[in-house]
Amino acid sequence: MEKEVLSKHRKALMLFGIFHLMHGMGGAVSKYEQDYPNVTFVISELGVFDTELLRLSTSPFASWPIPSLARAKGTWLGALELAHFLPPPITMDKECNFHNEFPKEAQKQMENLVDSFLYLGPQDLRLSEQIPADIVLDDA
C-alpha cells in the first residue's frame, strides 16, 4: 500500500474485514496513517454489525434508499460506540483471566473509527449461511 499507492499519491480501493481498517485500532490503516495522515476514507457496511437498528420492523433506516452511504462524523450513528453494534470479544490475558470488553482503542464513538456507513438494506431480507463447523474447529 505504501510503496505502490501512498508514496505515489495514487488512490486504491481496499476490501478487508472492518477491524483491519478502523482508524486508531492498530491495523493496516493505523500503521500507515502515521506517515500518511488523512488519506484514508474507511467505509463500514452496516450489515457487518448484528444490531436491532437493522431489523425491518424497527429500523430507523426504513426510509433510506438501498444502497445508502452516510457519513459518520457529526451524526447520531457516528455518536454511537462500537459496543452498541457488537458484543465485546472474550479474551484471556497472560494470567489466564478472561475479559469481556473491547480494547481501550476500540472504546470510542464510531465516528472516530470509521468515516462512513454503507447501508445495503434490512438484515431481515438478507441471505446468510452458517459458518461450517470444520472451519470453526480447525486449530490450524
Model pLDDT, residue 126? 67
Identity (one letter) of the amino acid at 62?
A
**pLDDT tens digits, one per residue of 60-110:** 777 888 889 999 999 998 998 888 777 777 888 888 888 888 877 778 899
**pTM for this predicted structure:** 0.72
Helix, strand, coil % in the chain, rounded to nearest 5 = 30, 15, 55
| Cβ–Cβ under 8 Å, residues 54 and 61 | yes
As a whole number of angstroms, the distance between CA 53 and CA 103 comes to: 24
Structure confidence by residue, pLDDT tens digits, 116-140: 998 887 766 666 778 888 887 888 7
Please state which of the ranges 19-23, 39-43, 76-80 shows the lowest mean pLDDT: 19-23
Q: Is residue 7's pLDDT more than 70?
A: yes
Alpha carbons 22 and 102: distance in angstroms, whole number? 14
Q: How confident is the model at residue 115 (pLDDT cuts 50, 70, 90)?
A: very high
Angle at 72 between CA 76 and CA 103, to 5 degrees: 90
Is the backbone peptide bond immediately before 67 cis, with ω within 30 degrees of 0? yes
